[in-house]
Amino acid sequence: MTQNEDNIKSNINEPSSHSGTRYWGNVEVIEEGESYRISRVEIKPRHGIKPQIHYHRNEHWVVVSGVAKVTCGEEEVLLNRNESTFVPAATLHKVENPGHIPLIILEIQNGEYLGEDDTERPYDLNLVKPATEAQ
């Protein structure tokens, strides 16, 4: 087995630095490999993940519990339990929990690069102006 194969194999089923508590909820990486990551994402009621974009990975979201308000590009949709959506690479997206119970999503990331430095937010991209500049 090569050193690279050893490194890939050691990443599978090991805790990731991507796991942890956020102001909006919690992320737990369930499994990851060289080109994929599977996470359990829990979003608190009336909270959400800020708009973001990734250039080197796609994401699939499956709602396990609660209701997800998903914005992907120009499209906005409500997803219930057992429903899913696909977020293509290079597409601005966000997810919110408009409900009163925690939203639980399984997130499958797949792509050539999964690093967090591939995540940009609208303010970084100048796609959204702060309220003081928008007037």
The answer to the question of residue 14 being in a domain is yes
Mean per-residue pLDDT over the chain, rounded: 84
The answer to whether residue 102 is domain-embedded is yes
What's the pLDDT band for 7 if we cut at 50, 70, 90? very low
- How many domains are there within the chain? 1
Question: If DSSP codes are grouped into helix, strand and coil, which group holds residue 92?
Answer: coil
Residue 37 covered by a domain:
yes
What pLDDT, in 10s, does the model give residues 75-98?
999 999 999 999 999 999 999 999
132 domain-assigned = no
Pairwise pLDDT comparison (17 vs 34), residue with the higher score: 34
pLDDT band at 71 (very low <50, low <70, confident <90, very high): very high
Band of residue 8 on the pLDDT scale cut at 50, 70, 90:
very low
**134 within a domain of the structure (yes/no):** no
Residue 52 lies in a domain: yes
> What is the reported pLDDT for 103?
98
The boundaries of the domain holding residue 98 are 3-127
Which residues contact residue 42 at a Cβ distance below 8 angstroms, ignoring those fewer than 6 apart? 25, 26, 27, 102, 103, 104, 105
- Residue 123 pLDDT: 66
Indicate the pTM of the whole model.
0.77
For residue 133, tell me if it sits in a domain. Answer: no
In a domain, 68, yes or no: yes
What CATH code is carried by the domain that includes residue 83?
2.60.120.10
Three-state secondary structure call for residue 42:
strand
Residue 66 has pLDDT above 60, yes or no: yes
